[in-house]
């Protein structure tokens, strides 16, 4: 441990953190380029060439030029995902979510109480089993 002092360990960890942060930012910018529907194909190709060939400068220019709209696209995507999830939950709740065995048990209980006749029970049972 004498060969590698604590300060060198700190600097190594700092550079590792910055390296990981850089790749995260680079991939975030590249995915944003492809996710933006307002950019034309040539615009996407231009930004991608700039970001890939001159990565540090390209990412910096991209963040300065399109950073605000990048955040707006993130918020829009999150809202779309949330609405999609809510729609799925509503759809699952509307379908009843119960199995046919549960529905048959409810029908049987209604028939035993006398709330429905044998004929109504048979029709509902046929509909459930179909």
Instruction: Report pLDDT digits (tens) over 23-70.
Output: 999 999 999 999 988 899 999 999 999 999 999 999 999 999 998 899
Distance (Å, whole) CA 12 – CA 118: 80
pLDDT confidence bin for 102, thresholds 50/70/90: confident
Is it the case that residue 1 has pLDDT exceeding 60? no
CA neighbor of 66 nearest in space, from 24, 19, 31, 41:
31
pTM of the model: 0.59
With a CB cutoff of 8 Å and minimum separation 6, the contacts of 44 are 33, 34, 36
Is it the case that residue 120 has pLDDT exceeding 90? no
């Amino acid at each position: 441990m004498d060969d590698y002092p604590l300060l060198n360990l700190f600097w190594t960890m700092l550079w590792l953190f910055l390296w990981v942060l850089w790749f995260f930012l680079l991939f975030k910018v590249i995915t944003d380029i492809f996710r933006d529907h307002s950019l034309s194909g040539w615009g996407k190709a231009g930004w991608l060439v700039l970001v890939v060939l001159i990565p540090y400068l390209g990412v910096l220019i991209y963040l300065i030029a399109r950073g605000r709209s990048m955040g707006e696209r993130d918020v829009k995507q999150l809202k779309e995902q949330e609405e999609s999830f809510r729609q799925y939950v509503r759809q699952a709740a509307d379908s009843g979510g119960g199995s046919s065995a549960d529905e048959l048990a409810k029908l049987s209980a209604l028939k035993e109480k006398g709330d429905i006749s044998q004929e109504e029970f048979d029709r509902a049972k046929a509909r459930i089993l179909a």
